Structure 1
Amino acid sequence: MALVVKPRVDLFAGEVRQLLTGPTGPVLRFVRSVARKVRTRAVLKCPVDTGRLRAAHREEVGVRSGQVYGFVENNVEYAAAVHDGTAAHVIRPRRPGGVLRFETGGQVVFTTVVHHPGTRAQPWLREAMEEVAVPAGFRLVRS
């Protein structure tokens, strides 16, 4: 069974929408502009190993129930673990009686259990939102 976690941070125009007129005109263009800038900044700040995480950023802007919305997200299955970090955990083989194989210090190691210390959070998406969207008058909402 696979568990898919989709970290998503939404943009809402709040006070900015009140200053501009009409949800389909200048507001929509403004939200689209900010979402594009957030996505660009997130791509630049994203940690890179294979490039898969960096390539998976997506933005969407639209109007729903008369309200302009926009969001930037990354749907790679491990995005939340990289973004939010992980706690210490135990890694065991998938099959009973199996072994884990990995390399460390140039040597191949076989074992039946690993006590992983966890990983530190690398909140590139939140940082991109704080750097671009907050100064533009948006508030951050985590869903």
Structure 2
Amino acid sequence: MALVIKARVDLFQGEVRQLLTGAIGPVVSFVRSVARRVRTRAVLKCPVDTGRLRSAHREEVGVRRGQVYGFVANDVEYAEMVHDGTGPHIIRPRRPGGVLRFEKGGEVVFTTHVNHPGTRAQPWLREAMEEVAVPAGFRIVR
């Protein structure tokens, strides 16, 4: 599941006239510029362990049914859990009848489940949106 945080821009009639000036190109360029800056900021704010999460950010900008859209996403399967955190949960082996193996206090432990306390949220992408897109006139929606 991809982590996608979108921003919506509400423009007033005068702003629309200024941006459009007869073509949608300037609006697309504006949205692309903001999306690129959000992606750059998100990469810098992203928590790093192996670097896989940091390297998986992507941006997309386009026009669909006459509306300009843009978003920054991270497609790593655990991105949402890191971004939003997790509550306490039980970890079980992948295979039925299997065991978990890990080290604790220098000793190897084998068990059938672990009660994980959960992890705190690290909302780097939302923070990047708030720092870059909101001052540019976008409103964050999720």
Same-fold call, TM cutoff 0.5: yes
Partner SS, residue 122 of structure 1: coil
- Structure 1: how far apart are the matches of 2:66 and 2:26? 14
Deviates more, 1:8-17 or 1:85-94: 8-17
Paired letter, 1:141? V
Deviates more, 1:67-76 or 1:12-21: 12-21
Is 1:91–2:87 an aligned residue pair? no
Q: 2:6 aligns with which of 7, 10, 24?
A: 10
Q: Deviations for 1:55-87, whole angstroms, at most 9, x for unmatched residues?
A: 100001111111111000001111111111111
Partner SS, residue 11 of structure 2: helix
Change over 3 Å in CA distance of 1:135–1:98 after alignment to 2 = same
- Structure 2: how far apart are the matches of 1:133 and 1:106? 47
Paired letter, 2:6? D
| Structure 2 residues without counterparts, runs of 5 or longer | none
| Structure 1 residues without counterparts, runs of 5 or longer | none
Please list, as runs of the form range in 1=range in 2, the aligned pairs for 1:20-31 lying within 5 A after superposition: 20-21=19-20, 22=22, 24-31=24-31
Deviates more, 1:94-103 or 1:116-125: 94-103
Aligned residues: 138
Please list, as runs of the form range in 1=range in 2, the aligned pairs for 1:58-77 lying within 5 A after superposition: 58-77=58-77
What TM-score comes out, normalization by structure 1 length? Answer: 0.88
Paired letter, 1:115? N
How far residue 105 of structure 1 moved from its aligned partner, in angstroms, is 3.2
C-alpha RMSD of matched pairs (Å): 1.6
- Structure 1: how far apart are the matches of 2:126 and 2:81? 14
- Structure 2: how far apart are the matches of 1:127 and 1:11? 12
- Structure 1: how far apart are the matches of 2:122 and 2:84? 6
What TM-score comes out, normalization by structure 2 length? Answer: 0.89
How far residue 91 of structure 1 moved from its aligned partner, in angstroms, is 1.3
Give the match for residue 57 of structure 2: 57
Partner SS, residue 72 of structure 2: strand
